[in-house]
Structure 1
C-alpha cells in the first residue's frame, strides 16, 4: 500500500503540468459478494461493531467518491489518498 501511495504522489507531481490529477482511493470492508463469500455473517457482525460507523460500506459510496474525483469539481485535488472505511483505521 505504501508503494502505491508513493506512486500516486509521484504521478500527481509529474502529470499535474499536463492537467492530469492522480489520487488514491483506499476502501475498507464493503458489502459485496466477495466479502460474504469469505466471512460468516457472525464474523462480519462482530467486525462491524468495532467500526465508528458500525456497518459495511456500500459499493455505491466508493463509486460516488471516484465520480467526484473524476469530475471538474475535484480539479484541484491531486496526490491525495482517500480512506473510505467507516473510520476503521482510526482504531
Structure 2
C-alpha cells in the first residue's frame, strides 16, 4: 500500500478524462452496465476521486441511476466497475 500524493486521500473531480472498464470515456449521462450487471446512466454531479493504495492511483467514484430504480438517488460505482457493453453478451447498455 502506498500513500497518496500530498496525503490527499480524496480529491474533487475536475472533468479529467477517465475511462470505463471497456475503455470508453466517462461523461455525464453515459449509459453503462454496473458491476451488478444492471443498466443505468452515470451522474457526475457529486463525483470525486479516492486514493487506492494497492493500485497506487486515484479511482473516480460517481453515481449510476439504475433503470429499474428510477426513484433512487443512484448507486456508487467506480471507473473500473462500469462498462458500456455487457461483459458476456456484448449488448450495449
Name the TM-score, length of structure 2 as normaliser: 0.26
Name the TM-score, length of structure 1 as normaliser: 0.26
Structure of higher CA gyration radius: 1
Q: Which has the higher contact order (CA 8 A, sep 6+)?
A: 1
Say which structure is richer in strand: 2
Say which structure is richer in helix: 1
